[in-house]
Amino acid sequence: MSDSKTIKTALISVFHKEGLNEIISKLHEEGVELLSTGGTRSFIESLGFSCKAVEDLTGYPSILGGRVKTLHPKVFGGILSRRGLEEDKQQLEKYEIPEIDLVIVDLYPFEDTVACGAGEADIIEKIDIGGISLIRAGAKNYKDVAIVASKEQYQPLLDMLDKHGASTSLEERRWLAKEAFAVSSYYDTCIFNYFDGDENSAFRSAFNHQKTLRYGENPHQKGYFYGDLDAMFDQVHGKEISYNNLQDINAAIDLIDEFDGTTFAVLKHNNACGLATRDTALEAWIDALAGDPVSAFGGVLVTNAVIDKAAAEEITKIFFEVIIAPDYDVDALQILSQKKNRIILIRKDNVKQSNMQFRSLLNGVLVQDIDVDIEAASDLKTVTAKEPTESEIKDMLFANKIVKNSKSNSIVLAKGGQLLGSGVGQTSRVDALKQAIEKAKSFGFDLHGAVMASDAYFPFPDSVEIADKEGITAVIQPGGSIRDQLSFDYCNEHGVAMVITGVRHFKH
């Protein structure tokens, strides 16, 4: 094995001891001297193995309530010494510092302590000092030292020990060092973000669990996902999730979370092309598909209801890429699984998601709060003489949730808890409306009595006029234009009800 280094002495000081016993047993079997602190030393001795105390090496006990245990030249000198440098060897001999060839250490659970709502005193005590220093020292000197910085590396280390005994290659040590710096950088990011709070004085974000995707948006682009998808979904069937699938899945989750009643949505390129709220999953699916059965081909399906056999028998009749639901009846799953590539996801409950959104742009990063506003009836202000009916208010709130999650410029037409047509991603609001009308008519919908939702204000009354002539009776929009009154006046003259929310929902 090229650049092999024998492990003669190992320093072990960990918070998480699960899975450590096999490593300790293997090291003992290979004749490695064990060096440890406090609780870890007691754990090693409880397994029946001898272990030298760090205090015996340094001549100092653990002090300051355990804040200072390993911070000593006799520890760090043994880790950082360059084995091939004669000057370093002489200094180790002069100060009686033993070489340390393997460091197994992890960090106090700072992130978990913050997440559980602990007080600041407890949080501060979970900022690791000795551990993070040992990690950096071992990783810096990877040419001579192997560093294991997390329980996630216990198994890789054990595999190395099983493969070639108490020795490591340069390639293995460099990989362990890389993993160690990943641990330390993530840890420091969590600490910084705790102290920074809502100031946003600098952008720091770190994610583990890298997943290499088949490709990016296009086959010639590389694509990766950083995050724990398994915490959000169980994939029970289908091919590997792609970059574009993930974007659609994210849009689908954002959209379905707006609705409380049994709802089914069909998305294509991050936009809803069909959506309906009904009493059952089957009824919701049938009416969602009716909104645009052409665009539904190859789409992403999402529902907030358990999918039963009756719904599955209808759903399976079309080709789709992904389906997401909180659960599936056994016979429904058997039906949907008949196509081998269909991605079938079960969404898990109560998974915390980020409240921030960011994207790389130019030579930096754009960051904003997630748009979590969901307007209710109490948030609506009627600006016309005609008051909307109760059913129109219900449909306007329904349509407003869809338009909020559609690419701007966007117009949504809805009636009776069903998406009739939408115009999305247009350069003008008039074009978006015309697209929505054309879609609705092409699939046989009657727009008389329907409502219109817009993601932004109407600077001119032209869109309202077009909608009125198609039979639309109520309009919901944010308002905020200096020309708002022009649209208000048109509605008053032609008996159209209009409400404003005061909240704009642009989406790029």
Residue 108: count of CB within 10 angstroms of its CB: 17
Q: Examine residue 245 and say whether the peptide bond preceding it is cis (omega within 30 degrees of 0).
A: no
Write the DSSP assignment of 401-431 as a string of letters. Answer: HHHHTSPSS-EEEEETTEEEEEE-S-SSHHH
Whether 269 is catalytic is yes
Name the residue with tokens 């180790």.
92
CA distances to 71, 93, 177, 364, 443 from 103, rounded to whole Å, are: 14, 21, 11, 37, 67
130-140 and 170-196 helices cross at what angle (nearest 10)? 140
Write the DSSP assignment of 351-420 as a string of letters. Answer: ----SEEEEEETTEEEEEE-------GGG-EE-SSSPPPHHHHHHHHHHHHHHHTSPSS-EEEEETTEEE
Closest-CA residue to 243 (of 270, 220, 221, 216): 216
Residue 208: count of CB within 10 angstroms of its CB: 12
* Host H or E run for residue 498: strand 497-500
Gyration radius from the chain CA atoms: 31
Q: Which pair of structure tokens corresponds to residue 200?
A: 């946003």
Q: Are 474 and 453 in contact (CB under 8 A)?
A: no
Catalytic choice (17, 52, 126, 140): 140
CA distance 288 to 265: 6
Active site residues: 140, 269
